[in-house]
Every structure is written in structure tokens, then in C-alpha cells.
Structure 1
Amino acid sequence: MILLQNSILRLEYDPATDILQVRYPDLQRYHMSEIKHSLQIMVQTIRNYDVRKLLLDARTTSVEIDDEENRQLTMELTAMLSATRLAKVARLQPFDPENEARAQRNIEEARKTGAIAYEVATFATPAAALEWLKA
């Protein structure tokens, strides 16, 4: 069922598997306040539905912000997600290898600071990600 759909995010939840699927938004500088607000709504939805499994689809996400802004957004999002009861987050890696390398650096930094309180894994295909989430 679709819980939210706007110009930035689409939240699709399957109560049978307890998986929330989200296409990660394009990171455009002039939309950052809207993006942050939408991510806060996503986290509130995770909290309200007590979601335990999240599939973030970043395959087509474009990144038009600098590395520091991107790192800060990742740290804020991981902190917000850690305040929920999420157990697993599966990421669908971006098609762009540079975006994936940046994302992996950000995830590693979040791990080092202890900001991630859930399992995180990265996958190339939705089928592999869903299989891991369901396991």
C-alpha cells in the first residue's frame, strides 16, 4: 500500500513482510529543505507503523550537493533512523559508481561514530535486497 507519494518521496509499505520501500530522492541543493522534511516524514512513518525493514532504492538518485552536505544528510538520516525500531536497511546501489563510493564512505563514517543501530547491506538488484530483508 502506498502511504505517501509526493514530488520527493514515495513510501510503499507491505504489512505482510513489514518492508517499507522508498526511492531515495534526488539531492538537489535548491530542494534540500523539502528533502529533509520528506525524510523526516519517512522516519515518522517508520515509527508510526513500527516498520522493521526498509528498502532504500538509490539506483537513479542524482547527487547535486557537495560531499560535505551529503555526509551531513547521511549522518542526520542515520541518527533519525536509529531512533526507530528498524532492524534492517537494504540499499539498492546507485548506477553511478562515484555516487556509490560516496555513499559507502558516508555509511562507514556513520558506523565508526556508532550512529547506525540496525543492519545495513547494499545490493545491486531489488530481488537480492528483498530476499535479505525477508530472511
Structure 2
Amino acid sequence: MLLYKDSLVELQYEVATDVLSMEWPDVTGFSKSEISHYLQKVIDTLKHYDVRRYLIDSRHNKVEVTETEQKNIAYQFSTELLKTRVNKMARVVGQNTEKERRVENMRQQLVAELPFEMEYQEFTDMATALSWLKA
């Protein structure tokens, strides 16, 4: 079921399995405040539907911001994510090794700084990610 769609974000919700999925948006050509606004829409949807399982498809997104800006956005989003009831999150990774290196470094920093208690796994394909989330 399509819950939300605009120029940056599309949120799909599978009611039977309580999985909210989204393709992570390109962080290109938008201001930090615009990106924060759109990501807050994701958080609001997670809260409103009391979602427990969250799937991020980041295979095709582009990141054209500095590492500092990217970390600030990720920190803000992660802090808000902790206020939801999400307890299981899967991320489908892309082929861009530089982007994935940056994401992994940020993820490690965020895990060290924030009290994450949710299960988290990364996958190379959607089917395996969904299977893990639904298990």
C-alpha cells in the first residue's frame, strides 16, 4: 500500500508483515533543511503506523554532500528513528564501494554514539532482505 509519495520519497507499507519500505533518496541538489523535512515525513509515518520493520533500498541513490553533512543528516535521522517502535531494519546496499565505505564508517560512529537496540542487517538483494525482516 502506498502511504506517501513526493518528489524525493516514496513509502510503501505491507500491512500483513508490518514492513515499511522506501528507496533512499538522492542527497543531491537539495538543501539540508529540505532533506531533513523529507526524512521527518518518514519518521512521522513510522510513528503513525507504529511500524516495527523498516526496509531501506539504497542501491541506486547518489550522495553528493560532504561527509560532515552526510553524518549530520544521518545523526538527526537516527536520533529520530530511536523514538519510533522500529525493532528490525534492513538495508539493501549498492555497488558503489566509496559510498558504502562512507555509510559503514558513519554507521559504526552512530552505533558507538547512540543507544541502538534494533536488529540491523545489510543485504545485496531485496528478496533476502524482505525474507529476513519477515522472519
Structure 2 length-normalised TM: 0.95
Give 1:117 deviation, angstroms.
3.2
Question: Match for residue 6 of structure 2?
Answer: 6
Residue correspondences, number: 135
Q: How does 1:1-135 map to 2 (within 5 A)?
A: 1-135=1-135
Structure 1 length-normalised TM: 0.95
Give 1:66 deviation, angstroms.
0.5
* 8 Å CA contact 1:78, 1:115 repeated in 2: no
CA distance in 1, matches of 2:56, 2:115: 18
CA distance in 2, matches of 1:118, 1:73: 20
CA distance in 2, matches of 1:100, 1:9: 21
Structure 1's consecutive aligned runs of 4 or more residues displaced over 3 angstroms after TM superposition are none
CA distance in 2, matches of 1:30, 1:10: 16
Give 1:35 deviation, angstroms.
1.7
CA distance in 1, matches of 2:110, 2:35: 20
Secondary structure of 2:122's counterpart equals strand
CA distance in 2, matches of 1:34, 1:16: 32
* Unpaired stretches in structure 2, ≥5 consecutive residues: none
Cα RMSD (Å): 1.1
CA distance in 1, matches of 2:92, 2:52: 17
* Unpaired stretches in structure 1, ≥5 consecutive residues: none
Identity %: 34
